Amino acid sequence: MIATLQCFVIDCPQPRELAAFYQELLGGEVDRKDPRWSTDQAWSTLHTPGGPVLAFQQAPDLRPPAWPDPSRPQQYHLDLGVPDLDAAEAKVLELGGTLLEAGDPGRGWRVYADPVGHPFCLVRE
């Protein structure tokens, strides 16, 4: 082993606001004290209950992905497990997320964008 994963870093215009969006989806603690980094208006973190840390780095000129357009690729995406797709979708939309692709009714996942435009999937557990 060469390294350990410290966090997933996501570029966005307003780090604390996007951290709060993902906190509503995943739970956890925004900007918990951590000796690995400090938080400020340009860097925010979310320590999730499951262990992974999401970090949000300010990128004022972010050009969000245009899913599924390959000329502006998604760069990354998160798959988030949920027990009820419909209930989770309602919460995502209430929080400011956008449905990108619902797909077939029997499919076990749907594609959304966070408020900044990063795609993520809700996947039936």
- Are 26 and 46 in contact by the 8 Å Cβ rule? The answer is yes
| Cα atoms found within 13 Å of the Cα of residue 86, Cβ hemisphere only | 2
Give the model's confidence band at 2: pLDDT under 50 very low, under 70 low, under 90 confident, else very high.
low
pLDDT at 61: 92
The answer for residues whose C-beta is within 8 angstroms of residue 40's C-beta and 6 or more apart is none
Structural domains of the chain, with CATH: 8-58 (3.30.720), 78-124 (3.10.180.10)
What's the pLDDT tens digit per position in 30-73?
A: 999 998 888 999 999 999 998 999 999 999 999 888 888 889 88
Burial (0-12, 13-18, 19+ Cβ within 10 Å), 30 = middle
Beta-sheet strands, E only, within the chain: 8-12, 29-30, 43-47, 53-58, 78-82, 98-101, 109-113, 119-124
For the full predicted model, state whether its pTM sits above 0.85.
Answer: no
Burial (0-12, 13-18, 19+ Cβ within 10 Å), 83 = exposed
